[in-house]
Amino acid sequence: MEIVFASNNLNKIREINNVLGNSFKLLSLKDICMEEDIPENEATLEGNALLKARFIHNATGMNVFADDTGLETEALNGDPGVHSARFAGENKDSEANIDKLLALLEKKTSRKARFRTVIALILDGKEHLFEGIVEGEIITERRGKMGFGYDPVFLPEGRKLTFAEMDLDEKNKISHRARAFAGLKAFLSEYASEKKSTPYYNK
């Protein structure tokens, strides 16, 4: 089954291919020659994911899914949340985002945080949502060179390694994105199985 992932983020595509395996042919925006800027101006993760998926589906007619992820901190009332990628400015500078986050949390009592991913799927014209959450905390300094975004300062609950200290296989056992995509994979697998078992009659 071919399905478009509304992204050209190579880190995300690598993670998702690792989760989905060989059951599906994953196409990036580059693969379908889609170079237009996709809007991301909704107030929620759900809204942004749906907006991106609808944009690509309306432009191409293809089956598509899009995701949006946010880091939500208790002490900052859920921020940076939907603004995670642009927390320190429109240039999406991960290092600047981390610097700003650590500065804001410096004198806060709670460092509890969670990563949340929402996936919007449009399949045969119908919309579906999937969610993945991992609880944890923000540590006081960066650790690790792997991963991306806020991974160097996010310590998952019950773990001794940050996401940036974990290899991809280990991260994908517990990450928010992996959990959301596991739900997507299970749904697509069931859908594909039902399609195969449904007889087709020529009229």
pLDDT in tens, 1-19: 788 999 887 777 887 777 7
Whether 68 is a known active-site residue: answer yes
Q: Within a domain: residue 179?
A: yes
- For residue 48, what is the domain's CATH number? 3.90.950.10
Q: Within a domain: residue 168?
A: yes
Residue 183 has pLDDT above 50, yes or no: yes
Residue 155 has pLDDT above 70, yes or no: yes
Angle at 152 between CA 149 and CA 153, to 5 degrees: 100
Torsion angle of C-alpha atoms 45, 49, 50, 54, degrees rounded to 10? 160
- Reported confidence tier of residue 201, pLDDT bands at 50, 70, 90: very low
Q: Where does 67-114 have alpha helices with state H?
A: 94-105
Q: Within a domain: residue 56?
A: yes
* Straight-line distance from the first to the last Cα atom of the chain, in angstroms, rounded to the nearest whole number: 25
Name the CA radius of gyration of the chain, rounded.
18
pLDDT in tens, 40-94: 889 999 999 999 999 999 999 999 999 999 999 999 999 999 999 999 998 889 9
More confident residue, 191 or 93: 93
The per-residue pLDDT for 9 is 79
pLDDT in tens, 94-132: 999 999 999 999 999 999 999 999 999 999 999 999 999
Catalytic residue among 67, 68, 99, 167: 68
Structural domain span for residue 16 = 2-197
Q: How far is CA 56 from the centre of its chain?
A: 17
Q: Within a domain: residue 16?
A: yes
Say whether 106 sits in a helix, a strand or coil: coil
Q: Within a domain: residue 145?
A: yes
Q: Within a domain: residue 202?
A: no
Q: Within a domain: residue 203?
A: no
Considering its fold, how many domains does the chain have in total?
A: 1
pTM of the entire predicted model = 0.86
% residues pLDDT > 70 (the chain): 95
